[in-house]
Amino acid sequence: MAPPAERMKTMRKRRRRQGLRELRLVVSDARSKTVRRRIARQLTRLRPASEHDALAWIEAVSEFDADEVW
């Protein structure tokens, strides 16, 4: 069997031929106490009026259809 790095290289080539590309995302870990404290601090700084405007805009431009089945 080929080494793991070679298998990954082969898999990436196969996916590229299929028109796919690997994407890696790094996100904050919501289980971390540090991250949760940072989020809580940021929430206290939100201004309800401006957040309402932002949400209203998102809803206005959204194409979401509650009846649509995925």
Question: What pLDDT was estimated at residue 10?
Answer: 94
CA atoms within 13 A on the CB side of 63: 0
Tell me what the mean pLDDT of segment 13-42 comes to: 94
Each domain of the chain, given as residue ranges in start order, spans 31-57
Confidence of residue 57 (pLDDT cuts 50, 70, 90): confident
Tell me, what's the pLDDT at 70? Answer: 54
3-class SS of residue 32: coil
The three-state DSSP-derived secondary structure of 39-66 is HHHHHHCCCHHHHHHHHHHHHHHCCCCC
What confidence category does residue 69 fall into, taking pLDDT thresholds of 50, 70 and 90? low
